Amino acid sequence: MIRLALGTLRQHRGAYAGTFFAALLAVALLVGGGLLLASVLTAKPPADRFAAAMIVVSGGRDVTLEKVTTTQKKDKSKVKRKVKSERLTGAGSLPVDLAGRLGDLPGVAAAVADVAFPVQTSTPDGRPLRGADGAPVIGHGWASAALTPYLLRSGAAPGRGEVVIDADLARRSGSTVGGRLLVTTKTGARTMVVSGVAAPAGRDGLPAQGALFVADGEVATVSGLPGPTAVGVLARPGADPVALRAAVGQVAGDHEVLTGADRVRADLPGALPDYIGPISIFGFVIGITAFAAVFVLTGTVTLGVRQRLRELALLRTAGATPGQLRRLLGVESLLLAGAAALPGAPLGVLFAHLVAARFRELGAVPAQFVVRTNVLVLVAAAAAGMVVTFVGARVAGRRAVRIAPTQALAETADAPTGGLAPRVAVAVVTTAGAIALLVFVPLDGPLGMGMSFVSSALLLCTVAALGPLLVRALTTPVSRLVGVGGPTGWLAGLVTRAERRRVAAIAVPLVLMFAINATMLLNSALLGQLAQREQQDRTAAATAQVTAPGGLPLDTVERLVALDGVTGAAATLPTRAIVEQGGKPEDFASQGLLVAGSEAALDLDLRSGTLPGPGAFAASAYVAGQYGWRVGDDVRVWLADGHQVDLRLAGVYARARGFGDLVLPAALVAAHDPRGLVSTVGLRYGGDVPDRIAASWPGLRLAPTLGAAPAGDAQNQQGAWELMVVISLGFTAIAVVNTFAIATAARRREFADLRLAGATTGQLHRLVDREATITVAVGLVLGALVTAIVVGAFSAAQDGTVRVVVDAGTYAGMLGGVAALGLVAGAVPARVLLRRRGLPALGDGR
């Protein structure tokens, strides 16, 4: 069987070239996506910050809730416990005396308290200062330098009003001992003198964070934290690690005790590389690649099998059974996919490295992210490509192997008809699934974009299942329209109506190409438009916006809004907050809000209640609806550092896009967010307020309200959409070219017969062009229909307005691009084939 399969592959290498290339590309994309996902899942930053400590006791780094459910069955109760956690964006504090108690334990050489807090640092000329690869700068008390350890290279330990910086920061800023830096934290902005430069042994700094040390006596004043965020335990020589850890655990109580590589978890969350966003992106890449691979490979394999119907009939004449033919097609597909996996795997590795480089450039992944080659991923991707190709061959051969032996003697051979009931059943299930998602899933929430893609995929499955039926319904009117213009158009209409299965096989990749990409691009454009519009409406009342590089301390803002002539102000302080639903913690983008003056400078479009004051908060209409909150309800909220507080719901607002789903008192947020800086102050004023602001705070920027939406996760979103569009557009473009080439190659005898009947090469070119036009038009109509359903439902869920052409430029570009690709893909293979030496019948006659 293997020998026969190899022989048929050599004999039909032209027909299977498209399938080979599609399998190669599928394996490459699966390898690339798999390596990226595996790399972010296994990425762990080094525990260098606590390298000198054997054990680290950490404050809270997440909110963990336990849900207990009890079910009764046959007089027996069954208790289920589910534990859910949500990561904090800040760090919880430890008791001030914990380091002293740990230091008294036997075997402990020293217990060092580490107070870690983010700082905004700039040079005297106002140039912001960042760590290596744009890493944040983290402040500490000087005593915690021993935990790495950082050793002085020059200068002395910091005193009052002084700082020690790492050697990398010194090089970047050009600072030397005696120089000055502007250090801004949530407690204020200070000009501090550089007293020394320190670095870990053998390097200038840590790869994921810059380090700045203040005097231990000033660390509480500068950081605003009530206690240490971690305590590092340095062991005496010869101490038993197991016994020491047990003793530390008893003293630490409920606080987390970390050893080995886990010590890195005690660092400030903002100082650690964040892989949460890339995990979801690369996971989605795997999904979209697998979906496209099934479509592409099944289509190309099906066309390849259809070219061999007369050969299969001949084998049936020689005595082959349908089972033997199915096994033959299966073995061929496995050999073909296996051969494609050999170049596909290294191509996938290259693809993963290119994507990682682009994501690092966008800032969507940490600068330290590296792609690690994983043999299991390579094997799994190759196996997946082989399985998909094998299944495609089995599906394609299901009816083809039942071909009658007598068709071997016919000029053309057709596969037996039938199989309508399974196709209809599949279409009903996928259509029902798409409708259920579009109707019952809240598309205006965080799942909206993902569910719109899944809905598109289900509707595309419907189109694939009902392809011949849908094509027959559309081909007739389209072909009659295109057929206006002479006998060539009339003949093209007849051919496409007669060969609806071939038209369907080519049109389905066109539908996939248009619908998937148009849906993603249009929905993304819609969200951007709505966010920008809401931002404009939110800030329209303000005369100007005040900002500063890195942010403003709250006390500075309070003095700013108290200036004479300021009639209204609204200061926003970005943060994250966690609330509970059904025992599961959920994290939401939030804002601390400070409102002053008699005139409103921020319009959130309150639907009920008021803006929050002390002890209260406001929620977006979406979140309030999801949780069933009403104005006056008490809700438990976890702040960025894990501090738990019960707040009363004061109001519900509508304009949450690009802003946040929860609004909290600014003072509360500043007290419990490690960064705690105001991002923007909207002002209403009269007179010479701008001049007085410039005189008192020369570093502030005062600009008219422009209405641009906040960046938010713009880098992650841009990287995600670039990657997904490149994959889906590139993969489906290959599918279109493949299917056209395979379908055209199967018509060699047909074209030769037309030439012998007197048709000129030019007439055949025009015939093929008209057929391609009909096929492309059918594909675009079906693609536009799928897009209209999904985009219309998504749009209606956002603001109640049904839109189909969200962005005319994007829509026209997709239509024109897909049409051009389809027409070129249909014309080029035919022109290559219609050369005289490519037509067997003519060649035979010479």
**Which has more confidence, 385 or 591?**
591
pLDDT confidence of residue 405 = 63
- Per-residue pLDDT band for 403 (boundaries 50, 70, 90) equals low
Tens digits of residue pLDDT in 728-774: 677 677 777 777 777 777 777 778 878 888 888 888 888 888 888 88
- Per-residue pLDDT band for 442 (boundaries 50, 70, 90) equals confident
Tens digits of residue pLDDT in 674-691: 999 999 999 999 888 999
Tokens 């970005």: give the residue: 574
Measured distance between the N- and C-terminal CA atoms of the chain, rounded to whole angstroms:
38
Cβ contacts of 780 within 8 Å, gap of 6 or more: 510, 514, 815, 818, 819
User: 375-379, 453-457, 480-484: which range is least confident on average?
Assistant: 480-484
Average pLDDT, stretch 258-276?
A: 83
Residues 403-426 as b/e (b if ≥16 CB within 10 A, e otherwise) read beeebbeeeebebeeeeeeebeee
State the amino acid at position 140 in one-letter form: H
- SS3 letters across 155-184: ECCCCCCEEEEEHHHHHHHCCCCCCEEEEE
- Per-residue pLDDT band for 709 (boundaries 50, 70, 90) equals very low
pLDDT confidence of residue 401 = 61
- Per-residue pLDDT band for 708 (boundaries 50, 70, 90) equals very low
Own/partner long-range contacts of 497-504 (Cβ < 8 Å, ≥24 apart): 497/472, 500/468, 500/471, 500/472, 500/475, 501/306, 501/467, 501/468, 502/303, 502/306, 502/743, 503/471, 503/475, 503/774, 503/775, 503/778, 504/467, 504/468, 504/470, 504/471
Q: Is the pLDDT of residue 5 over 60?
A: no
pLDDT confidence of residue 407 = 52
User: 270-279, 404-413, 820-829: which range is least confident on average?
Assistant: 404-413
- Per-residue pLDDT band for 71 (boundaries 50, 70, 90) equals low
**Which has more confidence, 692 or 406?**
692
**Which has more confidence, 388 or 185?**
185
Average pLDDT, stretch 132-146?
A: 89
Cis ω on the peptide bond leading into residue 149 (within 30° of 0)?
A: yes
Answer whether 244's CB lies under 8 Å from 230's CB: no
- Per-residue pLDDT band for 102 (boundaries 50, 70, 90) equals very high
Residues 351-384 as b/e (b if ≥16 CB within 10 A, e otherwise) read bbbebbebbbebebbbeebebeebeebbeebbeb
* pTM for the predicted model, two decimal places: 0.81
**Which has more confidence, 357 or 724?**
357
Own/partner long-range contacts of 699-702 (Cβ < 8 Å, ≥24 apart): 699/126, 699/548, 699/549, 700/546, 700/547, 700/548, 700/552, 700/560, 701/546, 701/547, 701/548, 702/544, 702/545, 702/546
Query: What's the chain's average pLDDT?
Result: 83
Q: Is the pLDDT of residue 270 over 80?
A: no
Q: Is the pLDDT of residue 635 over 70?
A: yes
Q: Is the pLDDT of residue 78 over 90?
A: no
- Per-residue pLDDT band for 363 (boundaries 50, 70, 90) equals confident
- Per-residue pLDDT band for 711 (boundaries 50, 70, 90) equals very low
Answer whether 592's CB lies under 8 Å from 652's CB: no
Q: Is the pLDDT of residue 320 over 50?
A: yes
Share of the chain above pLDDT 90, in %: 38
- Per-residue pLDDT band for 89 (boundaries 50, 70, 90) equals confident
pLDDT confidence of residue 485 = 58
User: 23-27, 403-407, 608-612, 811-815: which range is least confident on average?
Assistant: 403-407
**Which has more confidence, 334 or 414?**
334
pLDDT confidence of residue 234 = 94
**Which has more confidence, 326 or 533?**
533
